[in-house]
Chains A and B, each alone.
Chain A
Amino acid sequence: MEIIKIKNLSKTYTKGIFQKRQVRALDGIDLTIRKGELFGILGPNGAGKTTLLNIIMGQIIPEQGYVEIDGYQITKKFPDKLKQKMNMCSGNPNFPWSLTVYEILKFYGMLYGYSGLFLKNKIENLIEIFSLGKYRNVLYDELSTGNKQKLALAKAMINDPEILLLDEPTIGLDPDVARKIRKFIIDLHNRKKITILLTTHYMKEAEEMCERIAFIKQGKIKALGTKEKLKKLTKTKNLEEAFIVFAN
């Protein structure tokens, strides 16, 4: 069953003082994501991966195209009911710097309408899952990069999303922390069968995690399919080599 349907999606940014310079970020994207799928979006810098995720999350309005998520056409209006089912986490996350780990989770939990013992238990559970117990009263500004990323993932899980968008979630992390985060995402996907859209620069990460992959370049989908299909298509042994073929 398809949970995200994207048709002919385009986005152009205008830049410069007089807004005359135009940058085409997405150019006629067609894509469907199945319910419960762990889907990877790969592409070089500036390919349009983050813009695509931001449109799916309702943070950018495209000038053309159609995006339907779980039956809602979000380019017209992004309903709160849908926001309640979705969440996101990006690499190099930003949160209010003078709030502690516990306060950040509490604040975002409250934004989903939770309160009291229900919210408290939810936060405690997330703190335990992400091994943040030692840091519960530490200010965000004082956390290590790895713990900031764990907190970002914990925040992304505060509403038990059915659709999770991960924008380079392991960027800049130590291999050890990155491995733990990858393991968490895979476990989460296997356990809850939630739909996950993942953008990454790391081909091994995509190879290890994603069921299907779209390769984007200059705002267009250059290839789409399973890892095996992409490798076969490029006559390469791994995704890294396939990436180089597509990128050139």
Chain B
Amino acid sequence: MSKTILLVEDNELNRDMLVRRLSRAGLDVITAGNGEEALEQMRSAQPGVVLMDMNLPVMDGWTACRKAREEDAIAEIPIVALTAHASAEDRKTAMDAGCCEYATKPIDFPELLAKIKKLQGDD
């Protein structure tokens, strides 16, 4: 399974930070700025894990998730939802869309890293 992480985040500051932190943790990171780009990257790069913000321009995270699940080539790639909301309902919406994990912002990095490792190990 690919060690590459796809980070889908439209906020430049948070994206740059996460790229830097994930790289420091020894992970290969590629990025996308919206849902459509995310789907393209998933098809071409076949990342091991996707970290996806839900509030995205052009195509939001939930839509991108659902579309990914419907597309055989990328349906199995695990997606971690990154959201600013901490409610149970919010979590359910993300899971219903096809995310397998959930992390709230501000990101607790050790926790996120643990989730990534778990997903990578699962495969």
The answer to whether A and B interact is no
